[in-house]
Amino acid sequence: MTNRIQASKCPSNNGNLLKSLLAVAAIGAIYGAAPASASPLLGSDLASFTVLGASTVTNVPPSTIVGNVGVWSSGGANAITGFNSSPGVGVSDPQVTGGSVYAGGALPQSAQSELTTAINNLSSLGSGTTLINSDLTLAGTLAPGVYTVPAGTTNLSGSLTLDGGGNANAVWVFQMPSTLITSPNSVVNVINTGSGAGVYWNVGSSATIDVNTTFMGNILALASISMNTTATDLCGRALASTGAVTLQQNSLAGVCSGELGGSGGLGGGLDVTTPPGGGPDVVTILPYAPVGGGGTVPEPATLALLGIGLAGLGFSRRITRLRHG
């Protein structure tokens, strides 16, 4: 004990300790201030579209869309029917609020590129839990997670409830290796979650949302999406990578209401990190955050600097204790 106290009272020892602490803090500031870039799964241009096609977008009016409607294909006609449109520029349409209609142009082109990236990133999450039955109605209620759903004559014959269990950042990813098909009058409910939630339907070919289906979440289809008469998705998007989106008097909104307000059309729950030196994106599920509790999670740099600060506080207290014997 005597040697320890004498060493702590030595000015040179304390000075060296403080210098070391400052050096560690400087290193943390340098590396912590420039973390890997983290962003939501849906890029900002892609997230602005509620309906996005590759070959065509066709609509049997009237439909009600909240968000952009667009189409872009490098070799396609970039054709839109059933909405006002003009090649290469965004125009207004009375069926569209909070956005415009784009028949080609830079914005839908960028969105299509981001869609390809989003599909690949969802696929990188793997198969998760593989469900035995193709009909999600038989599952009844599903907790957050990654699920693989086999193909079948229907993937939703009745009602499916997605229960976030009080997690504002709850996320569901449905890996559909083939098709996504709902039956008439089927329903998807999302409950007990909040502004950080996400629901993604990663469809390997085409999706058909049948008559009067009340759907929720973001459909990212490799091929085409058909929304049959009066089907709705009032908290999500219809995003087709290589084919058409077909609408028939549908209502879709990329902006949610109620407890899901602020979720970006159920576009949360996941962070995509791009390594500073390049390489594949890393997709992570956001940590638990209680509904109504703010749900804010510090960025990696903030966590690093916080840890350094706490370490420094511990060193400082140790010096103080030793000085006072």
Query: Mind listing the pLDDT tens digit for each residue in 58-117?
Result: 999 999 999 999 999 877 778 999 999 999 999 999 999 999 999 999 999 999 999 999
User: Comparing 309 with 283, which gets the higher pLDDT?
Assistant: 283
Q: Is it the case that residue 296 has pLDDT exceeding 50?
A: no
Q: Is the pLDDT of residue 10 over 70?
A: no
DSSP string for residues in 198-218: EEEEEESS-EEE-TT-EEEEE
Of residues 251 and 30, the one with the higher pLDDT is: 251
* CA 180 to chain CA mean position, Å: 19
pLDDT of residue 107: 97
> Can you give the pLDDT at residue 81?
97
Model confidence at 12: pLDDT above 70: no
Check residue 145 and give its pLDDT.
98
Average pLDDT, the chain: 86
Listed range (29-43, 110-124, 294-308) with the worst mean pLDDT: 294-308
Q: Mean pLDDT over residues 187-195, rounded?
A: 98
Average pLDDT over residues 114-132: 98
* Three-class SS state of 133: coil
Residue range 311-320: mean pLDDT, rounded: 45
> How far apart are alpha carbons 120 and 280 in whole angstroms?
10
The stretch 17-44 carries a mean pLDDT of 60
Q: Which residues of 83-101 are buried (b: 16+ CB within 10 A; e: fewer)?
A: bebeeeebeebebbeebbb
Comparing 19-23, 201-205, 273-277, which segment has the lowest mean pLDDT? 19-23
pLDDT, residue 75, reads: 75
Tokens 């960025």 belong to residue: 299
pLDDT exceeds 50 at position 127: yes
Of the candidate ranges 36-45, 198-207, 276-285, 302-311, the one whose mean pLDDT is the lowest? 302-311
Cα dihedral 46, 51, 55, 59 in deg (nearest 10): -170
Which comes out higher in pLDDT, residue 5 or 14? Answer: 14
Confidence band of 236 (pLDDT split at 50, 70, 90) = very high
Determine the pLDDT at residue 325.
Answer: 52
CA distance linking residue 39 with residue 273, whole number of Å: 7
Mean pLDDT of 178-192: 98
Question: Over the Cα atoms of the chain, what is R_g?
Answer: 25
The whole-number pLDDT of residue 294 equals 52
Q: Kindly list the domain boundaries of the chain, sorted by start residue.
A: 2-35+299-323, 44-272
pLDDT tens for 135-159 read 999 999 999 999 999 999 999 999 9
| pLDDT confidence of residue 77 | 77
Residue 251 has pLDDT above 80, yes or no: yes
Q: What gap in Å lies between CA 78 and CA 91, rounded to an integer?
A: 14
pLDDT for position 278: 82
